[in-house]
Amino acid sequence: MFATIADYEQFVYGLRDTFPTVLSSTLRVVRSGPDSGQVIGRLTFTNTIRLEVAELIDWDAGHFEILQYGYVVWQDRERLYWYDSQAHPNDPTLTSTHPHHKHIPPDIKHNRIPAPGISFERPNLPFLIREVEGLLGREDE
């Protein structure tokens, strides 16, 4: 998929071309070494929806890996939901996608559900953007 960090940079910086629903992007790949770095910033959509992104990324022998992440979707000042990779081994409802999970209302901090669309082995941004696009479609109805 992505043989090098430069390939992933090209993917990140091309998101607005790939997904026309992305109105603006402040995403940046900040390298911490020749094969590692962080992706940080925000994607902005219509209806004041934004996706805040934080990923710690690495290439081990040419294999792409997300080591840690946090993705938060906002509308104006309301946090709609978020994904994170914090393990919750004592929550049996999350076993199917451990450690990947999504925080949703009500009680967004403690209400977690499995996140089958999120992974450490492939980019999560396309899934997350499509999910936001689904929100935008519902708001247009």
Is residue 141 scored above 60 in pLDDT? Answer: no
pLDDT tens per residue across span 95-113? 999 999 999 999 999 999 9
| Structural domain total, the chain | 1
Average pLDDT over residues 121-137: 95
pLDDT of residue 139: 61
Average pLDDT, rounded, for the chain:
93
Q: How confident is the model at residue 1 (pLDDT cuts 50, 70, 90)?
A: confident
Please compute the mean of the pLDDT values over residues 68-76 and round it to a whole number: 97
CA pair distance 118, 83, nearest whole angstrom: 8
Q: What is the pLDDT of residue 10?
A: 96
Using 50, 70 and 90 to split pLDDT, how confident is the model at 137?
confident
* pLDDT on residue 62: 75
Q: Give the pLDDT mean for 121-126.
A: 96
pLDDT (mean) for 30-50 = 95
- Quote the CA–CA distance of 67 and 106 in Å, as a whole number: 28
Range of the domain at 30: 5-139
Flag whether the pTM goes above 0.95.
Answer: no
Q: Could you write out the three-class secondary structure of the chain?
A: CCCCHHHHHHHHHCHHHHCCCCCEECCEEEEEECCEEEEEEEEECCCCEEEEEEEEEEEECCEEEEEEEEEEEEECCEEEEEEECCCCCCCHHHHHHCCCEEECCCCCCCCEEECCCCCCCCCCHHHHHHHHHHHHHHHCC
Q: Which residue has the higher pLDDT, 140 or 131?
A: 131
